[in-house]
Amino acid sequence: MNIQTTKLDGCYILSPKVFEDNRGYFFESYHKKTFDDLLKEEVQFIQDNQALSDYGTIRGLHFQNPPYSQAKLVRVVQGSVLDVVVDLRTNSATYLNSFSIILSSKNMLQLYVPKGFAHGYAVLENRTIFQYKCDAYYHPEAESGIHPLDPFLAIDWQIPESERIISEKDLRLPFLKTNIH
């Protein structure tokens, strides 16, 4: 597995070593020792989540407030997404900056999202399966988020406005200027 830095401190792109032959391919999507060695820290993932969505779906931008913040390792099993993260760590040099990347079943890239980040994604293909590991359990009372169409962030979700599918819950999320603690 290889690691690549992003413009956001602590957020990394991971690419597995893929072994292909006439039968298909094989790769380790997660290996704790390799992962911890690459990050130079230990992350204890305790839960795996998976979502199936069709083209146009935008999920996020979600996070959990401390002390229930979550680090995530995200990837696409089938299809493709535009994955987006926003640094909400007030002590970070990249505070309020965002980063996006295409994750797909073809490129097999993964994104490590550290604690203190908002996370979301736009689904670019029908029947996309998105999977992620978390290092903390979900706590509904700590759930929070930022409106995905926040003008301050001005994220290009790569989905035409007329084709966006956003939950009512996400459309009720506050804009960033009213959400900063």
Strands 165-166 and 57-64, sheet pairing: parallel
Residues 6+ apart with CB under 8 A from 26: 18, 19
Q: Using omega within 30 degrees of 0 as the cis cutoff, is the peptide bond preceding 109 cis?
A: no
CA-to-CA separations, 115 to 11, 67, 100, 111, 157, in angstroms, rounded = 10, 10, 17, 13, 23
C-alpha dihedral, 64 to 155 to 177 to 9, nearest 10°: 60
CA angle 13–16–20, rounded 5-degree value: 145
Give the whole-angstrom CA distance, residue 20 versus residue 84: 29
Which residues have a catalytic role annotated?
A: 62, 132
